[in-house]
Structure 1
């Protein structure tokens, strides 16, 4: 967990500024005009990490926050009405697609190539393999079938083939295994400050890789066609170390080096476009959850108030704004310093808890891991240990069911949902798609999908125009391959 070093990562953070332009050079899955091919891996690594964090903390955060019902549109503004309306169009997804492909994926493949040519940089290659697996999972979880093997080849192939989600996940597991093996082999040059996530801490990277593999296993765990793949991966994780700290990038409150969602708000004139959704705020209030004040501000009536999802045209309530701690207050410069969490310690514990509860892993105690997940979330927002202990006695929300597996999964995912409020929004929406939990989502008042929720992204317009292999006729309410649980 490293705060960005401005002297060494000006190029990396320039991604945030260029991402705002929407230039077409970012939209080709095979071309990256930002960096020449022959650059040392230590210069490319921070660029890729910053790019992926930008996408997670801004582009995916916007969709995740609305579709996981953490935020809804502020009645006093209009920027994100289309998200509440479930009316995103293909071009809405151009930017994140381009950044994850033409910037991040191309550069990561370049690092892997360079590290194979010069094994002194093997540790950079290991990190690149892990981050490429992470990037691929974001892409396939959002879009479904995607290009991979033929992507990132420059002008040699401008119409890469699309591969099934099953094939993509097979590549994800393979990349993680290659990364872990390269960490074990070691390298002459050890990344340090240029690694914005862990500052070159190899043990932390291995734990991150193991946890990412566990996340991938759990994502596929209800899909019958993936069971052989999942069982092999889970077996390899028995007895391994997992994250006990957040994998995150921190930011500065100066000179355009702030949290990417806050920088987006600055670009929109500091307009407060997001407010608390009643879906999450009401639950936090009902549970006497002390994190409500960490995630949301008191309104004029000194209460935490969310408005119904999509009610911006009908409500007369005074909604609570998100806090600076989750980069949600457009008027508070402290929003700039909110970290982007690629994966949290809390998520790590909840993933382990679910795997043990469902009998997919044998090491660990599900109840203990469940409670560690809650405590890790409380610690991340500096909630006192006394408040944490009191919350754990709160029935039934924080009590771990004793026998019924489905009830245990519901408890785990619901608590994961609260922990991810405003900081891992895309992952929270994705876990809801996978499990159906939490089970208290409501239809947006202005939803346009005929009573259905959004369950995927649309293929970007630029890709539809350029690549004839792009699947046609995809709807926001179509499910991706692993989304099979009712």
Structure 2
């Protein structure tokens, strides 16, 4: 893994374009022009960090996650993502993901931490940087397993050692706690427009931090429930704030500022590679879920009858044109310029309520609201986020919206509703929660699978850059090998 410094002009471009990351940074060494700036201020680095994470979250991880969480499948009329449907990814497929998490995000985060060290007036930048580090490293370890951590952002270390997943999670908890201790909602010096997510609103960052602790604590529910209980315990204190709005980066139709998935689709000539998966389309139809009309476009047949139609996962070899396309609200419709405006969600209000609901149902979180009330608020937040009509009817009649008896049945209901809320907009998190809980429990194996009967993807595989360049690379883990916390 190669280290680098950042040209100030490149970061300024990032601040203006929000997502113009790829190709901007250069790998530099001591022979570079000494007149070029090799440092930057936190207000220039912060948007670069957030944009880099937003790009990887909203483009490659969104694609892989939404295929493997069975929201989308390959369009029979195109071929770009067939290998994803086949579970046949290669090491070269993940070089960009890895580079953006490390060279584009983590090293800039470390630079912020270096610049703000010992400067109390910049504590709020330090806090946000710590949260971004925790978030970035959670994405990386959830995707790949063991990852470089302690040596990952040290200049001139080209062969960083790998840290076990359990130790990475220990560090994630520590970064989050350090950030919470630094957050001051009344601080005089905070970011403003350079904070692409909350524009310097530190109360929202406190809510983000607490909600992120819920996410990370619950991630260990199957492998280390005692740690989950320990992490969640402080969140039971009276007055603890959780997210009630979506933590997201907003985009526009201006060139360089589009949703990162739509931006890639433009680069592919607007080819529509994603269509609705039968798994989610069928479930939404059975439950008369009005969100189906928000997340997908209806297919209209020759008789004028319209409906949400998906095709079986991996069935791109069939000669059919009867399917629905993702809608522009998730940035995945290449023919509709409104896709450019789709936000990238780091965490959503719906996710926040569903995390609280699960923690309360397990008896690990004390809340003024019951698990059932939080479950309902999660559904409400999902509808509200996309201005979906018909909430009261859905809550009253949809089988998936009814609160069951028994803790395990309640957890199943919560995770399935979380899966529905994340349709096409938090694809990687939905895939990750399926790995943790085995819910939804009605996923189907891709018809095009190349990894053997009954097997499903459980991780991303390490990038070629690590396989070939890092002397401390621990060895390839096959796509169907579970990560540490996936004990189900």
TM range (shorter): over 0.9
What aligned pairs does 1:11-30 form with structure 2 within 5 A after superposition? 11-12=14-15, 16-19=19-22, 25=27
**Partner of 1:60: helix, strand, or coil?**
helix
**1:13 Cα deviation from its structure 2 partner:** 6.3
What residue is the counterpart of 1:463 in the other structure? 466
Distance 1:321 1:13, change over 3 A: farther
Shift of 1:300: 2.9
Contact 1:13 1:47 (8 Å CA) reproduced: no
CA pair 170-37 structure 1, distance change in 2 beyond 3 A: farther
Q: Which of 410, 413, 416 pairs up with 1:411?
A: 413
Where does residue 350 of structure 1 map in the other structure? 354
| C-alpha distance 289-355 of structure 1, shift in aligned 2 (>3 A) | same
Specify the alignment match of 1:67 in structure 2.
Answer: 68
Q: Distance in 2 between matches of 1:437 and 1:93?
A: 26
Q: Offset at 1:469?
A: 1.6
How far is the alpha carbon of 1:411 from its aligned partner? 0.3
Kept in 1, the 8 Å contact 2:362–2:407? The answer is yes
Residues 466 and 129 of structure 1: CA distance in aligned 2, closer, same or farther (over 3 Å)? same
Q: How many residues align?
A: 464
Report the CA distance between 1:228 and its aligned residue: 4.0
Of 476, 482, 487, the residue aligned with 1:484 is 487
Q: Distance in 2 between matches of 1:13 and 1:142?
A: 30
Checking the alignment, whether the CA contact within 8 Å between 2:14 and 2:21 is kept in structure 1 is: no
Residue-by-residue CA offset, 1:279-301 (whole Å, 9 max, x unaligned): 11111111100011001101132
Identify which of 373, 381, 384 aligns with 1:376.
381
Residue 159 of structure 1: CA displacement? 1.0
Aligned to 1:313: 317
2:80 is paired with a residue of what secondary structure?
A: coil
Task: Show the 5 A alignment for 1:29-428.
Answer: 37-155=38-156, 157-184=157-184, 188-223=188-223, 226-239=224-237, 240-301=240-301, 302-363=306-367, 364-384=369-389, 387-402=390-405, 404-428=406-430
Q: Which residue of 1 aligns with 2:4?
A: none
Contact 2:70–2:280 (Cα < 8 Å) also in 1? yes
TM-score, normalised relative to structure 2? 0.92
Distance in 1 (CA, whole Å) between partners of 2:271 and 2:193 is 34
Output one character per residue of 1:92-134: Cα deviation in whole Å (capped at 9) or x when no partner.
1110111010110011111112111432211101100011100
Aligned 8 A contact 2:276 2:326 in 1: yes
TM-score (norm 1): 0.92
Runs of 4+ in 1 over 6 A off after TM superposition: none
| Separation in 2, partners of 1:88, 1:263 | 22
